[in-house]
Structure 1
Amino acid sequence: MIKVENLSYSFPQKNLYNKISFTLEEGQHCAFIGTSGSGKSTLIDIIMDPEKYMFDGKLEIDPNCRIGYVSQFSQLDKPKETTVFEYIGEKFIKLQNEITSICAEMETSTDIDTLLEKYQQAQDAFDAINGDEFESNINKKLNLADLSNHKDLMISELSGGEFKLVQVIKEMLNRPDLIIMDEPDVFLDFENINSLKNLINSHKDTILVITHNRYLLNHCFNKILHLENMELQEFDGTYIDYNFSLLQTKIELQELAAADDEEINRNEILINKLRFIATELSDSSKGRALKARVKIQQRLMERRIKTPFVDIKQPDISLSTDNKIEETIALKVTDYSVAFDEILLENVSFEIKSTDKVALIGPNGTGKTTLLKDIYKNNNASIEINGDVKVAYLSQNQGEILTESNTILEEFADVGFETYQEIKSYLSNYCFNDKLINQKIGSLSGGEKNILQLAKVSAIKANMLLLDEPTSHLDTYSQIALEKAIKNYNGAILIISHDYHFIVNCMDYVLMIEDKTIRKMSMRKFRQMIYAKHFDKDYLEIEQKKKSVETEIALALKNTDFELAKTLSKKLEELIKLL
């Protein structure tokens, strides 16, 4: 269906791919993974519109291949009066109306041949998307996504997560040969993530999905494309098998490469000794030995095992405060209410202490983001923030905090640094090097923008953080870095997240939105609840240990500690068996 051979592409400040190759075949469910900013979305753009990009190499797409697309950003492109059923069935309804109109015209027209031709074209298009079954198929997909009671709702009444699922259903029922989805899981609550998993697994045709979501990766895909350091790994199999295979291969290749390097270095020392004797002491016999040794070195270099990429692009996130305040009430909310078309939260009250780390959870569309913004604005009579508390805010809508027309360097000009050199030094900790800092923020990936927001939040040195979906778009290494930073932070945190791994690892307790109110829940009860509803026994803990061991192996390889890497690999294998 798609064949890429030796494709290379660069931005002015950044090389993205160096002669990457892969194929995508009919019926495959392929996960496309890689670190933030590695070029995944750009490669999708090239596949979608190859004429727009100047790249080297070959890109072959079946000329009959119809591609559907679901963006990482939910954008309402329909008027408010459109129902969910009408939105999903737009193409079906249009063709159905066209066929009815042609049939009506046939009753009075004398140009039957032309109308018959139009009728056949419309009917063929209708049959191609299984038009006769479209009502039944819409109902089946909505039921699979647990949205069966939303069929007659207006699109405007849906939460962002529900609308994303409706977009996925619409693309699937339009029956393209290939559906491409760019981080469709971002901002979905877990119920909607589970619905997305069901939709992906029910789809019989080809899917290519960019995602960092470990739950989807573990449960949905039979092919992996991994973009790393301008190179691409292609693997036919599950994500769990791929990750284990990749780490084992890296251990083996790096050990062989180290042995090759050692032999090449020894040979280079001999060459230098022979060159000294042959030139300084004019020993012609040593000159012949030198030529022979140089030829040996050339052969060694030619057959040298290439060192696998083992660097870890992990930001050094350091959340710090100007002053740690003694344990007291940092935030007090009393009888808070919010409503739009309907009441979302009613007479809500809670307190957060100055060292509490709290997750605010609940289904999409229940008022979490509105509450967090109202706390940040601090102009609501129901909200009281301690006078000694300095607040910083990270938005899921990155454009609220970052000015996309700014360069990265310009964005930090008024954050408290005295010189541009200080800004450069600070941003290097967040993986923004001298080449990148003059790049426009609008050209960054979603993950890079979130890292930049975290860098800005950290620079403010606030003692209370309001973080709205901070793990969205982040790759695994960045998520681990954020978890570590939050554990070490000595101020208060109120965080919105649907990432259960993240909540279990970092939070002291949760505030759960239910029936327009908020109740406090201990982490013990939260664990019990999510296991009862969503996971097999100990799944989250095993998955977290697995992620931690994978990172330890990567660090061991970076430090060329092969014995430790092998020991950890055996530990990883045992964890995989438990999953």
Structure 2
Amino acid sequence: MIKVDNLSFSFPQKELYTNISFTLEEAQHCAFIGTSGNGKSTLIDILMDPERYLFEGRLEIDPTYKIEHVSQFSQLDATKETTVFEYIGEEFIKIQNEITSICTEMETSSDIDSLLEKYQVALDALDSIGGDDFESKIIKKLNLANLMKLRDLRVSDLSSGEFKLIQVMKGMLSSPDLLIMDEPDVFLDFENLNALKNLINSHKGTLLVVTHNRYLLNHCFNKIIHLENKEIQEFDGRFIDYNFSLLQTKIELQELAIADDEEVERNENIINNLREIATNNADASRGRALKARVKFQERLEARRIKTPFVEIKQPNIRFDMDKEMEDSIVVNVNHYSVAFDELLLDNVNFEIKSTDKVAIIGSNGTGKTTLLRDIFNNNHDSIEINADAKVGYLSQVQGEVLRDSNTILEEFIDAGFKTYDEIRSHVSSYGFEGEIVNQKIGSLSGGEKNVLQLAKVSASKANVLLLDEPTSHLDTYTQIALEKAIEDYKGAILMISHDFYSVVNGMDYVLIIDDKTIRKMSMRKFRQMIYANHFDRDYLETEKNKKSVEMKIEMALKNTDFELAKVLIDELEELIKLL
């Protein structure tokens, strides 16, 4: 359907791609992955409107192909009184109204031929989007996503997660040749995420989806396009199989790299010996031998293993503290209530101790963010913060914490850093190196902004962390680095998250919103609840065993024990078959 051949593109301050090539074929469900800020959204923009961009290479798209786009940051006009049904069926309704109007005009007009021609064009347009039974198609999609209850609601009354799903349905029902979706999963709660999974898996057309969500990646796609370090790699198959392939390749490449290093070192010793002899001996043959060896060394250096998709640099996320707290209550919420147009939370009571790691779980629009913000602001009668608590805050509304008009350097000067060298040293651990520190924050990707927030939280050296959707927009490698930082942190964490993996891998227990209040749930019960709804019975145990074997492989590679790594990779392959 679409062929990209040797495409290169750069901005004045940054080169994005160098001779990348890939294809999208009919009916493929393709996940588009890669670390934050490396140009995934820009590549989508090029596919959508190639005439607007100056790129090198070839882009082959049939001009008759219809491409729909579900944007990462779509906003609804809140002044419109459109219902959900009318919003999804907008294109169908428009054509149907046009047909009705033409038929009405035919009753009184003498120019029947012209009207018949317009009538046929309208019918063809309706047919091209499968419009004969559009009402039943909309109902089918709403039922699939378990959102039939929203049919007659105004779109302006929806939560952000519900609106995202409605956008996805609208894009699918317009019958495009290719539907591109840029992070459609961001901020979706567990139920809506499962609805998105159902919508993706039921779609018969071609999909290109930018996502970092491990749940979707493991359950929705049959092709992976991976953009990394200005290069691209295609893989036909599941994400879980792609990761396994990368791990196999990593073992092979590390074994080869060690052999190459030994050969380079041996040749370097020969060159040094020849240089010493040539210094004391003017024999021309010695000089020629030295030159030959130097050229051979250059060839060895040039052929060293290059691993843009295997050795991906993770940010070094750390949450240190100025002062650890004794075992005590750091946050006490007592009879807390909050309402906007309606009551969201009522009579909420809980406490967080100094080393507790707790996730707040609940559907979109149930007041989680408002509660976390009230705790951070500490200006609510029902909330008490320990006097020794130093609180760090990451907001899902990035503009609350970051100023788009600031450069990265200016942002950290505002945060209390004294010198630019101090800032550069700190942010380099988070992947912000070189000239990017002089860029305006507004020009960064959503993932880069969240990593920058994590760098600010880290710099605060807080002993209580309030994290609102910290994994949103983060690539999978940064998500794993964040999980490790949370695991190592010695203070208290209260985290809103819809990322199943982050919750089960890092939290001690969850606070779950139920009937406008909050109750405590053990991690064991939470896992049972989620797995009962979304996974096969033995999935949890198999996933746990898989992670354990992967960690053993990483340890074997650190110890350069390649024989053990190869034995473990066979064990891992058997576990993956069960998933």
TM-score category of the 2 structures, normalised to the smaller one: over 0.9
Other-structure match for 1:229: 229
Shift of 1:575: 3.0
Contact conserved, 1:424 with 1:437, CA < 8 A, in 2?
A: yes
User: Structure 1 227/540 Cα, relative in aligned 2: closer, same or farther at 3 Å?
Assistant: farther
Other-structure match for 1:102: 102
User: Deviation per CA, 1:389-421, whole angstroms, max 9, x where unpaired?
Assistant: 222211111111111111111111122222111
Contact conserved, 1:336 with 1:347, CA < 8 A, in 2?
A: yes
Shift of 1:541: 5.4
Once the two structures are superposed, the pairs formed by residues 310-321 of structure 1 within 5 Å of their partners are 310-321=310-321
Matched, 1:49 2:49: yes
User: Deviation per CA, 1:78-123, whole angstroms, max 9, x where unpaired?
Assistant: 6442111000000000100011111111222222222222211111
Shift of 1:12: 3.1
Contact conserved, 1:185 with 1:196, CA < 8 A, in 2?
A: yes
Other-structure match for 1:521: 521
Other-structure match for 2:477: 477
Shift of 1:240: 1.7
User: Structure 1 36/113 Cα, relative in aligned 2: closer, same or farther at 3 Å?
Assistant: same
Other-structure match for 1:361: 361
Matched, 1:17 2:17: yes
Other-structure match for 2:307: 308
Aligned pair count reads 578
User: Deviation per CA, 1:32-82, whole angstroms, max 9, x where unpaired?
Assistant: 111122221121111112222222222221211111111222421364421
Other-structure match for 1:151: 151
SS of the residue 2:406 aligns to: coil
Contact conserved, 1:80 with 1:156, CA < 8 A, in 2?
A: yes
SS of the residue 1:68 aligns to: strand
SS of the residue 2:152 aligns to: coil
Once the two structures are superposed, the pairs formed by residues 202-217 of structure 1 within 5 Å of their partners are 202-217=202-217
Other-structure match for 1:67: 67
SS of the residue 1:442 aligns to: helix
Other-structure match for 1:350: 350
Q: TM-score, length-normalised on structure 2?
A: 0.93
Other-structure match for 1:247: 247
Determine the C-alpha separation between the residues in 1 that align with 2:322 and 2:469.
24
User: Structure 1 301/331 Cα, relative in aligned 2: closer, same or farther at 3 Å?
Assistant: closer
User: Deviation per CA, 1:277-304, whole angstroms, max 9, x where unpaired?
Assistant: 67853445556766876787788788x4
SS of the residue 1:60 aligns to: strand
Letter matched to residue 232 of structure 1: I
User: Deviation per CA, 1:492-546, whole angstroms, max 9, x where unpaired?
Assistant: 2211011122111211211110111111112222222222222223534543554
Other-structure match for 1:197: 197
Other-structure match for 1:162: 162
Other-structure match for 1:219: 219
User: Deviation per CA, 1:402-452, whole angstroms, max 9, x where unpaired?
Assistant: 111111111111222221111111111111113221111112121111111
SS of the residue 2:505 aligns to: helix
Matched, 1:400 2:395: no
Letter matched to residue 169 of structure 1: M
Determine the C-alpha separation between the residues in 1 that align with 2:407 and 2:437.
7
Contact conserved, 1:277 with 1:283, CA < 8 A, in 2?
A: no
Determine the C-alpha separation between the residues in 2 that align with 1:555 and 1:315.
19
Other-structure match for 1:501: 501
Letter matched to residue 31 of structure 2: A
Shift of 1:209: 0.5
SS of the residue 1:413 aligns to: helix
SS of the residue 1:412 aligns to: helix
Determine the C-alpha separation between the residues in 2 that align with 1:518 and 1:545.
32
SS of the residue 1:94 aligns to: helix
Identity of aligned residues (%): 74
User: Structure 1 270/89 Cα, relative in aligned 2: closer, same or farther at 3 Å?
Assistant: same
Determine the C-alpha separation between the residues in 1 that align with 2:297 and 2:464.
60
Determine the C-alpha separation between the residues in 2 that align with 1:297 and 1:484.
40
User: Structure 1 324/554 Cα, relative in aligned 2: closer, same or farther at 3 Å?
Assistant: closer
Letter matched to residue 206 of structure 1: T
Letter matched to residue 39 of structure 1: G
Once the two structures are superposed, the pairs formed by residues 69-468 of structure 1 within 5 Å of their partners are 69-77=69-77, 79-256=79-256, 258-260=258-260, 262-263=262-263, 266-267=266-267, 270=270, 281-283=281-283, 304=303, 306-309=305-308, 310-468=310-468
Shift of 1:322: 2.2
Other-structure match for 2:486: 486
Letter matched to residue 307 of structure 2: P
Q: Name the stretch that deviates more: 15-24 or 527-536.
A: 527-536
Q: CA RMSD in A?
A: 2.6
Contact conserved, 1:501 with 1:540, CA < 8 A, in 2?
A: no
Shift of 1:359: 0.8
User: Structure 1 208/550 Cα, relative in aligned 2: closer, same or farther at 3 Å?
Assistant: farther
User: Structure 1 393/511 Cα, relative in aligned 2: closer, same or farther at 3 Å?
Assistant: same
Determine the C-alpha separation between the residues in 2 that align with 1:121 and 1:547.
57
Determine the C-alpha separation between the residues in 2 that align with 1:69 and 1:558.
43
SS of the residue 1:388 aligns to: coil
SS of the residue 2:351 aligns to: strand
Contact conserved, 1:404 with 1:441, CA < 8 A, in 2?
A: yes
Contact conserved, 1:360 with 1:495, CA < 8 A, in 2?
A: yes
User: Structure 1 546/409 Cα, relative in aligned 2: closer, same or farther at 3 Å?
Assistant: farther
Q: TM-score, length-normalised on structure 1?
A: 0.93
SS of the residue 1:456 aligns to: helix
Determine the C-alpha separation between the residues in 2 that align with 1:511 and 1:293.
66
Letter matched to residue 369 of structure 1: T
Letter matched to residue 376 of structure 1: F
Determine the C-alpha separation between the residues in 2 that align with 1:552 and 1:177.
44
Letter matched to residue 493 of structure 1: I
Shift of 1:490: 2.5
SS of the residue 1:337 aligns to: strand
User: Structure 1 461/292 Cα, relative in aligned 2: closer, same or farther at 3 Å?
Assistant: closer
User: Structure 1 300/387 Cα, relative in aligned 2: closer, same or farther at 3 Å?
Assistant: closer
SS of the residue 2:414 aligns to: coil
Determine the C-alpha separation between the residues in 2 that align with 1:93 and 1:331.
52
Determine the C-alpha separation between the residues in 1 that align with 2:58 and 2:525.
54
Contact conserved, 1:318 with 1:458, CA < 8 A, in 2?
A: yes
Determine the C-alpha separation between the residues in 2 that align with 1:337 and 1:164.
28
Determine the C-alpha separation between the residues in 1 that align with 2:266 and 2:370.
65
User: Structure 1 568/13 Cα, relative in aligned 2: closer, same or farther at 3 Å?
Assistant: farther
Letter matched to residue 456 of structure 1: K
Letter matched to residue 570 of structure 1: D
Contact conserved, 1:4 with 1:58, CA < 8 A, in 2?
A: yes
Contact conserved, 1:470 with 1:497, CA < 8 A, in 2?
A: yes
Shift of 1:555: 8.0
Shift of 1:275: 6.8
Shift of 1:371: 1.2
User: Deviation per CA, 1:455-481, whole angstroms, max 9, x where unpaired?
Assistant: 111212222221110011112221222
User: Structure 1 364/270 Cα, relative in aligned 2: closer, same or farther at 3 Å?
Assistant: same
User: Structure 1 5/272 Cα, relative in aligned 2: closer, same or farther at 3 Å?
Assistant: farther
Letter matched to residue 142 of structure 2: L
Shift of 1:377: 2.0
Letter matched to residue 120 of structure 2: Q
SS of the residue 1:314 aligns to: coil
SS of the residue 2:43 aligns to: helix
Shift of 1:567: 4.5
Determine the C-alpha separation between the residues in 2 that align with 1:522 and 1:439.
44
Determine the C-alpha separation between the residues in 1 that align with 2:564 and 2:436.
35
